[in-house]
Amino acid sequence: MQIIYRFFPEVVSDNDMNYFNLLKGILESVDELASLEVSKMPESYNFRIIPSMPKYTNMIIQELTKLHNLFHLKMDMSKSIKNTSVIIYRLKNDG
């Protein structure tokens, strides 16, 4: 699995790293060849997940939904997932 981190400071909080590790584990359990790009913006984290094959898209979305519901996190998800098979979502940054 390829992971690209953009615009990150040298020090990242433990909670953020724990979330990224959970996300990586979920993605690898569904599609070990997927790509993940995480961009740190001033008020949010932007995520771009590219499955290795379009057939994994729905399974990844289901697992993402389970994870975010478990921790009561709100995802702002892109509406063009069906056309491109690329999953794009945003999480607001609390700090």
User: Pick the residue with more confidence: 93 or 48?
Assistant: 48
Encoded tokens for 52: 């290795």
Q: Is the pLDDT of residue 52 over 90?
A: yes
Sorted by where each starts, the structural domains of the chain and their CATH numbers stand as: 2-92 (3.30.980)
- The angle at the Cα of 62, spanning 20 to 43, to the nearest 5 degrees, equals 40
Q: Which among 24, 69, 14, 66 has a CA at the least distance from the CA of 47?
A: 24
Q: Which amino acid, residue 20?
A: F
Tell me the pTM: 0.92
* Radius of gyration in angstroms for the set of CA atoms belonging to the chain, rounded to a whole number: 13
Q: What is the pLDDT of residue 78?
A: 87
Encoded tokens for 59: 């399974």
Q: What is the pLDDT of residue 20?
A: 95
